[in-house]
Structure 1
Amino acid sequence: MKKLVLIIAILTFSLGFSQTEKLSEKSIVNNFIQSYNSSNFENIYSLLSKDYQDNKSLDNITVFFKRFQNAYGNITSISNSSNEKGYTRFPIKFKDVKKILVLKFNTDNKIDYISINKIKLN
């Protein structure tokens, strides 16, 4: 009986922890979209990990997203994510175009990798 209670306690803790972690990633993505749509590229930069910031300056990030925003406009919707080899993929929609937002989060829930790709047709 003690083992059963222990197993239930561990499962309950594990499920609660994994949901908290997913909520953090979801809030980061929502923050990213809000920042992108309001052209707040400094805030996007603050979501990036230290390693990513060491490789890309704020100017690089600003130029990249301004060009993207000029070409496609604001993000109008986002769909549920899928995970593939440590990368989280979010289908996103702009006014006339659908793309894939690809993110990789580190253990501190900072973005280690970010790209916006074409949707591949099978």
Structure 2
Amino acid sequence: MPQTSLIRFVAWRILAVLPVLAVIAVVTFTLSRLAPGNPAALMLGEGASQDQIDHLTKEWGLDQPVIIQLGLWLLNLLSLDPPIRLMARGSLGFECERGARAGSSVPVSHRSLPHR
């Protein structure tokens, strides 16, 4: 019988965490939408054309009503799409690529970083 009570306890704790995670997700989404500017324009940078901004806005669903945006955001969060998307198109990767083309001192690989 002690195993049954342990299983119930763990299941109850897991279920108790779900509403907390939902509130954290909604607050994070809300704060990201309250930030000034268009997220697509911010992601693409100052040199982006209006066509590029419009394309990314449509791709991310930012042209949809807020409730639809929240639903899409939650689905992408559950599918782990945002971290992959940010790593692929993130500002750090973009800055490294742009820095390498411009000949700046932005490290492009781990080999250019100092070793400890």
Report the TM-score, using the length of structure 2 for normalisation: 0.40
Bigger proportion of residues as strand = 1
